[in-house]
Structure 1
C-alpha cells in the first residue's frame, strides 16, 4: 500500500505534553501523585488511591519548564521535585505540601547544583542533599530538615565523585578519582580515611556500588574486574576487597539494574539488556508477583514506586507500539488496576513496530541495533525486510556512553509515520555490552565509532531497506557530533544531516567542561584525547568537524540551546561560522531559554516541524503543516536559514 494510506499522526500528539506523566504512590499507600498539564504546563497533582482521577487536585503552579521529576518524602507531608532554570542544570530541590500550600526552594543558592540521596524510611523528616556551593567541582553533603528547611553539614567533600550512605545517613564509602583515570573506594569513618580498593581505569565505567545492606558492611557492586561484562558481586567491607561472591552474571551484557528489598537492601532481582531486557530473580521473594505480571500480556513493565511496606507498586507498562501506561498493583490478592494511558491521543494511531537486530562491524564487533519501518513498507513475516528501498534516518544516540533500547520511542514513530526507515545503532563505546566493547571507543570519536555507523548504513542499503541516495544522519549531543563528523568525513554518503546540541570543536569542548564533571573528566579525555598532552590536543584537533567544514557538501540543520552547560552555544556558533566562511549553506535554530536539548513542548515541536520540512526537502518524505496554536509560546530564533 502507498504511504498516503497511513494516517498522519499529529506532531503535537507525539511531542506535546502527555495527558498524565509518571505516577508515584505515597509511602503509606493512601495517595497517588502524578504530573499533568495545568494551563499547558506540567505540574504535580494528587488524589486518594481508589478515587476517580478526575478528582485529583493540582498542588504546584509552575509556569515555566514544568514539573516532571518528583518523589515522596517519608514525612507524610511533602512531595519533592527537582528543577533547573532554563536548562542551566543548576538544579534546585523543591518541597510542596501534599495538602496544598507554598512551594519552597530548599536549596535557594544561585548557581549551585543540588542532588539527593534516596529517602530513608528511618529518617522520615529529613533528606540527605549534596550541594556544590563551596567547591563547584565537589559537592558537600548536608542533612535537610524538611519542616524548617535547615541544612546541616554532614561531610565536606575533599575530592570524591560519589558516596555510599548507610541507613543512618552516614557516608561509609567515597569514590575518589585517581590521576591515572582509575577510582579509589575509600572507607570513611568520621575523619578517618582508608583506601579499601582501587578500580582500574578500564573498569571504572562498569564497576560501581549498587547498594549497601542494612547491616552496614555487605556491599553489593556491579563489577567488571576480572571479567568483561559487569556482574553482581557482594563484598564484606570488613574483609578482603579481592574476595567477593558473584551473585549473578550475564554472558553478553552488563547487569544494568538491581531490585532490592526495601528493608535489608539485599538484591532480589536483576536486569540486563543485550537486544531485549531480561529480568532474573534471586530467590522467591517476588517470584509469584513477577510470574503473575508476566502472564498479563502487559509488554515490558517496570516498578515505578513502592509503598514503605512493599505491598503496593505502581507500574510503568509499554511496548514498541503501545505508549506508556500506569498501573497499580496490589500484591495482596494480586490485584492489577490500570490507572491511565499517558498518551491516550495515540490510541488507534498507526504506530510502527521496532525490531531488534545485531549487525557485525567490519572488525567483528556485534552492533545491537533497532530498526523501525513505515507501516506501508512492512513485509508480513519478514521483520527485517522492506517492500522497497526507503529514505533512511540514522538516529545516533548521545553520551556516547549510553545506549539505545527496544520499546516505545516517539522519535522513531514520528519519522516512520513520515515515511522514513529509522535505524538506531549501539556503536562501540555504548554501554551495556561489556568493558571491551566500551573501551573499544577510546580515542575513536571520528574513527572506528564512525565506521560502526557507516557499517550499519551499508547493511541497510545492502538489505534493500535503505535508498543509498536518501540517507540522513541525525542525533543530539554525541549524536550531533557524529552528524557533523559524518557529513565532513563522507560528503557523498548522506543526503543531509540534523545536529542537535552537538560539539564541533573537541578542544573547546574539553576546555568548557562543567565543574561538576570534574570527577569524570578523565573518562572524556580517554575518548577524545587528553587536553594536557601534545598528542591528545593533536587528536582533538584532527577529529574536530569545525576544521573540516569546507568538506560538507550536503544540507545541514543545527539546533542549539543558549544555556547549554555541556555543549555550549559556542560549539554551534563555531560550526556555523566555519560553514559560512567556506560558502556552505546551513540552517541554524537557537533557543534562548533551553539547555542541552529542548524541554518546553512548544520549542521541541517547533524544532521537529523545522526538521520535518528539512527532511521532506532532502529525502522526499512527507510533512505536517503547522496547526494553529501548535507552537504558541515557542522561542526559536532562526539565526541562519537555507530552507527553500
Structure 2
C-alpha cells in the first residue's frame, strides 16, 4: 500500500455535511484536515473560501436562516459533548455568539422570520433576535419537566415530551404550556426510536417518526386540536431510515412543508414517494449496483437539490440535481485523495443464526484474493445501530493489509422492524453475541474465513462485543480491538454514567430484561461482562479510550486493563487525552491504526 493511500484511508473525510443555501446558489460544508475542522463556503461559480476555523473542535447541525443571511451551527471541543450555538452573518462574516448557561441541545429557526432563533439551554427555551445586534436573548419558557421541547415554524413553544418514572413517555401539545395535554403515550420500548420531525406550516399537525402501535418505525401526523393520529407512511417490514448524512428518511417539500418522500433500507436504500410528482422526481435516484443517490438538501423553490452518490469502493460525490430534468452536476468529493484508486467492493452476506433467525450483513475481501482469509469482524455500535452499504475506510485499510472483514447486522440492529430490534433486549452477551460467532462459523464453512485467524474489532457496544469475544471465546476470537468499550454490565445497570441517566430505565431493560420478562441477576450479568469473564486464557487485547468520553468512564477501562495485566493477559492500552467516545483527529487515528496493524500482524500472522 502506498503512503498516499494509507494517509487517505486513515484520515477523516475531508469534505462533509454540506448544506444548500435557500436560493440554491451556495453550499456551506465542513472541511477536516490535520489541524481540525473548518467551515467552508462554495459559491455557484465553484470558488471556495474558508468561513471559520475550529481547530481542536467539532462542528455539527449547520442551518441557514430563511433568507440565507445567517448561518447557524453548533460546535464543541473535540471529544466533549457540550455543544454551544454560534453563527455567522454571511454578508459581513461577522461571528454571532449566542449566550447560554449550559449546553445547547437543540435549536429552531422560524420558517419565514429569518431573524428569530430559539434554543434550549439547561432545559429552558431562549429566543434571540438576530436582526437586532443590541438585543439580548431572553428566556421565553422555563422547562416544566420536558425531556424534549416541541417548537413550531413560527418559533413558538407548543409542548414537549416528558419521561415518566417507569420509562414511558408522553407527547404533550398545547398553545398554553400550562394546559398542554398528552396526545400520545409511548411505552418504554417505543421511546428509543421517537424522532420529532416538526409541525406543518399552519401548526395544526405534528409529524413524528415512531414505532407507536406499529410493527415498524413509521411516519405519523398528530392533529394538534383533536389529537387524532394519522399514518402518513408505513412499510410492512422495514423501518423508515436513511444514511446519517441525509437525516432520518423523511423529506418535506420546502414550498408547502408537507412530507413528500420516505426511504427504507434492507441491503440497499429504497425511495417511496408520497405524491405522483415526487415519484417522477426520485426515479433517477434509484440505487444501482455501483451507487446509491441520497437527497441531502433542497432549495426554497425546490428547483435545486443537493444529492450525494454513496459508493462502497470509492469516495462519495456531492452533486447539484435538477428534479425537473433528472440531471445532476458534480460538485466535489468527500475524500478527493482516493479518486482513481482501485479498491474492493462490499458483498452481501446472508446466513441463518443458530436459533433459526435469518440475518444479513456484508463482507469485504482484499482485492484479487480467495479464501480462506484472516478476518476481522467489525462490530457496529449502538447496539441499535446498523451496518449500511457504504464506504468503510477502516475496512478498506484492513483489506489493503490482506484481511477480510465481516459486517453483521445482528439482532437488535435498527432498520428491520420493531420485533428484530427488540429481539436484542436482554441479549447483550447472549444471542446478539452468538449471532457474531454464528456468522464466523458460516463464513468458515463457506471457505471465506480462516478459523484460526479471526479478530473482533469495534467501538462502544462493538468494543464491548470484541472484549467479550476475547474473554469468553478465545478459541474463536484470537485477538480483540476495543475502542471506548463498556467492560462491566453489572455496574452499568446498577449505576449508569450521568450521560445515560435520562434513558437509564430503557437501557437497563435492554441489557437485563429478557423477552419473556425475566430479569437477569447480577451473577448472570457478570457472566456477560468482559471484566468478570477475563481469565489467564483470554486472547490478546488492544484497547483505546478517549479521556473525555462521557459515556464510558475512564476508570472502568483502567480497572479492566489493570486486571488483565495482573493475570498476564497480553494487553496494550492507548489513552487519548484529547478524544471522547470516538477517535476523531487524523493524528490520533494514525497512531491507533498503526497500533492495530502491528497488533494484527503479531496475533493473526498473515502468511
1:505 pairs with one of 479, 482, 488: 488
1:25 aligns with 2:15: no
SS where residue 494 of structure 1 aligns?
coil
Contact between 2:298 and 2:305, CA under 8 Å: does it hold in 1?
Answer: yes
Q: Distance in 1 between matches of 2:94 and 2:534?
A: 52
TM-score by length of 2: 0.91
Q: Corresponding residue for 2:116?
A: 126
SS where residue 61 of structure 1 aligns?
strand
Deviation at 1:101, TM superposition (A): 4.1
Q: Distance in 1 between matches of 2:282 and 2:265?
A: 18
1:93 aligns with 2:64: no
Deviation at 1:502, TM superposition (A): 0.3
2:598 pairs with one of 613, 627, 631: 613
618 and 76 in structure 1: CA distance in 2 versus 1, 3 angstrom threshold:
same
1:357 aligns with 2:349: yes
1:73 pairs with one of 45, 65, 77: 65
Deviation at 1:77, TM superposition (A): 3.0
Mean Cα deviation higher: 574-583 or 261-270: 261-270
Contact between 1:9 and 1:349, CA under 8 Å: does it hold in 2?
Answer: no
Contact between 2:116 and 2:155, CA under 8 Å: does it hold in 1?
Answer: no
Q: Deviations over 1:412-467 (max 9, x none)?
A: 21111211111111112111112211111112111111111111111111111000
2:31 pairs with one of 21, 33, 36: 36
Q: Corresponding residue for 2:202?
A: 215
Deviation at 1:207, TM superposition (A): 4.7
Q: Deviations over 1:225-268 (max 9, x none)?
A: 44322233333233354xx4333322321122111122433220
Q: Corresponding residue for 1:627?
A: none
Q: Deviations over 1:135-163 (max 9, x none)?
A: xxxx2222233354732223222332223
508 and 102 in structure 1: CA distance in 2 versus 1, 3 angstrom threshold:
farther
Contact between 1:79 and 1:95, CA under 8 Å: does it hold in 2?
Answer: yes
Q: Distance in 1 between matches of 2:34 and 2:391?
A: 27
1:232 aligns with 2:219: yes
Q: Corresponding residue for 2:130?
A: 146
Deviation at 1:296, TM superposition (A): 9.7
1:52 aligns with 2:34: no
SS where residue 572 of structure 1 aligns?
helix
Q: Distance in 1 between matches of 2:76 and 2:106?
A: 14
Q: Corresponding residue for 2:252?
A: 260
SS where residue 96 of structure 1 aligns?
strand
Q: Deviations over 1:545-578 (max 9, x none)?
A: 1122225531100000001001121121011011
Q: Deviations over 1:584-620 (max 9, x none)?
A: 1200000001100111111112101111111112122
Q: Corresponding residue for 2:446?
A: 463
Q: Corresponding residue for 1:116?
A: 106
SS where residue 567 of structure 1 aligns?
coil
423 and 582 in structure 1: CA distance in 2 versus 1, 3 angstrom threshold:
same
2:568 pairs with one of 583, 595, 601: 583
Mean Cα deviation higher: 149-158 or 518-527: 149-158
Contact between 1:22 and 1:326, CA under 8 Å: does it hold in 2?
Answer: no
Deviation at 1:370, TM superposition (A): 1.1
517 and 336 in structure 1: CA distance in 2 versus 1, 3 angstrom threshold:
same
Tell me, which stretches of 5 or more residues in structure 1 are unaligned?
1-5, 133-138, 378-386, 623-644
Q: Distance in 1 between matches of 2:53 and 2:208?
A: 41
SS where residue 470 of structure 2 aligns?
helix
Contact between 2:205 and 2:224, CA under 8 Å: does it hold in 1?
Answer: yes
Q: Deviations over 1:457-491 (max 9, x none)?
A: 11111111000000001100000111111111112
Q: Corresponding residue for 2:558?
A: 573
Contact between 1:93 and 1:115, CA under 8 Å: does it hold in 2?
Answer: no
Q: Corresponding residue for 2:246?
A: none
Q: Corresponding residue for 2:244?
A: none
17 and 411 in structure 1: CA distance in 2 versus 1, 3 angstrom threshold:
closer
Q: Corresponding residue for 2:337?
A: 345
Q: Distance in 2 between matches of 1:347 and 1:58?
A: 23
Q: Distance in 2 between matches of 1:85 and 1:295?
A: 37
357 and 345 in structure 1: CA distance in 2 versus 1, 3 angstrom threshold:
same
Q: Distance in 2 between matches of 1:20 and 1:119?
A: 25
Q: Deviations over 1:173-212 (max 9, x none)?
A: 4221122222212223321132222122233334554443
Contact between 2:375 and 2:404, CA under 8 Å: does it hold in 1?
Answer: yes
CA root-mean-square deviation: 2.6
Contact between 2:159 and 2:180, CA under 8 Å: does it hold in 1?
Answer: no
Q: Corresponding residue for 1:248?
A: 233
Tell me, which stretches of 5 or more residues in structure 2 are unaligned?
242-248
236 and 79 in structure 1: CA distance in 2 versus 1, 3 angstrom threshold:
closer
1:175 aligns with 2:161: yes
Contact between 2:159 and 2:172, CA under 8 Å: does it hold in 1?
Answer: yes
Q: Distance in 2 between matches of 1:597 and 1:560?
A: 8
Q: Distance in 1 between matches of 2:128 and 2:494?
A: 34
Q: Corresponding residue for 1:603?
A: 588
Q: Distance in 1 between matches of 2:59 and 2:121?
A: 21
Deviation at 1:7, TM superposition (A): 6.7
Deviation at 1:363, TM superposition (A): 1.8
